[in-house]
Structure 1
């Protein structure tokens, strides 16, 4: 069973490339199912799970906003609001997320987007670890084009997401997610067209497996 992890900075089309790679390899694209599975394990609501999840826009918005001065916990160095009277411990949420990643990879394989997959599944036999990244200016242009928003808004969105996702990996794993040593393949998906990126990743995954 093929296993591919993708670490994607905002604006590098990870949400487009990941599903396409999964389809080509005949494995699930494992993204939105993860917070649901973790919520079920912990017995919390999906809303609570999304508030902690590093890929969910809803969770990132809460993690970054800092406007709701209700009960908070420190998550990756950022204060965030967590629904409910008893906030979830971030460490426990991350531990359960790791467990879901490992068990899913073993049971059915898949393409995993974000959530420090290259670190969590570093020892999984035959797993391919990919980083999608590009210069900030090109990511801004791509985000502005795809989302039909002003470039200044795209820049703010990218900077906030980059800070949050980097904080997640640094806080819980003490590594820099941009370190190329974590990956087999680093691709600039703002210069290389998405279909070509998909072909590169699929070819590498098949060769490695």
Structure 2
């Protein structure tokens, strides 16, 4: 198989990270998620703790947090410097090897490559809430609040740095509902498209089954 890069964006609680990890294992390719935090920290000069909290999520105060962030003499904010470091790491990874990259606006960062399959995974609210409850040992109210907060911050980060709408089917090759399809079917569809060399064309499967 020729070199292929798979980016997976996902709603919190949809299982996108698990699906991506399983796809990487089954295809025998590299998997990049939280393990790139150290590389981003090294390039940006910020701590791994700061990168973990801010490289994919917007400031808690929302979109205006970017607009009114403190900037240096070049006009760049701390968030801008973190994003630029993240962009460089993702570009280097994609150049190096076949891989699965989770989140971090990788679909947009790699938009000019012809070997990229961009996937968005979403799910139904009840299933997502139950999964968050199991994984984080919280009640349903806390799970719903976590989901709303994290997805909003991902959406804001994506909107600010890409000027695109996070989760819009037209930005991805595959848009899948993991609650309707199940994890195994999502994995199979991603692998089938990867092996077939499908990239960039939009296939929306969110209403299948």
TM-score range, shorter chain: 0.7 to 0.9
* Aligned with 1:99 (options 88, 98, 101): 88
Equivalent position of 1:5 in the other structure? 7
State the SS of the aligned residue for 1:176.
coil
- Helix, strand or coil at the partner of 1:190: helix
Q: Which residue of 2 aligns with 1:178?
A: 167
Question: RMSD of aligned C-alpha atoms?
Answer: 2.2
Q: Structure 1 residues 43, 148: closer, same or farther in 2, change over 3 A?
A: closer
Query: Quick one: structure 1 residues 99 and 4, their matched pair in 2 at CA, closer, same or farther if it must change by over 3 Å?
Result: same
| Alignment counterpart, residue 115 of structure 1, candidates 104, 112, 137 | 104
SS at match of 1:94: helix
TM-score (norm 1): 0.81
Q: Alpha-carbon deviation of 1:120?
A: 0.8
Q: Aligned pair count?
A: 187
| Structure 2 partner of 1:69 | none
Aligned with 1:132 (options 106, 121, 133):
121
Partner of 1:29: 31
Deviation at 1:21, TM superposition (A): 0.8
In the TM superposition, residue 141 of structure 1 has moved relative to its aligned partner by: 3.2
Gaps of 5+ in 1: 67-74, 80-87
Task: Find the counterpart in structure 2 of residue 49 from structure 1.
Answer: 51
Q: 1:143 Cα shift?
A: 2.4
| Cα distance in 1 between the residues matched to 2:130 and 2:65 | 28
Counterpart CA distance in 1 for 2:63 and 2:37 is 18
> Is 2:79 the counterpart of 1:77?
no
Q: Which stretches in structure 2 are left out of the alignment for 5+ residues?
A: 67-76, 199-209
Q: C-alpha distance in 1, partners of 2:128/2:113?
A: 31
How far residue 147 of structure 1 moved from its aligned partner, in angstroms, is: 4.0
CA contact (8 A) 1:144 1:151 kept: yes
Aligned residue for 1:197?
186
Match of 1:187 among 158, 166, 176: 176
Return structure 1 stretches of 4+ with deviation > 6 angstroms. Answer: none
1:191 shift after superposition: 2.1
**Where in structure 2 are the equivalents of 1:160-171 lying within 5 Å?**
160-171=149-160
Verify the 8 A CA contact 1:21 1:198 in the aligned structure 2.
Answer: yes
In 1, Cα distance between equivalents of 2:32 and 2:42: 16
Distance (Å, rounded) in 1 between the aligned partners of 2:55 and 2:81: 12
Contact 1:142 1:190 in 2 (8 A): no
Aligned match of 1:40: 42
2:12 alignment partner, SS class: coil
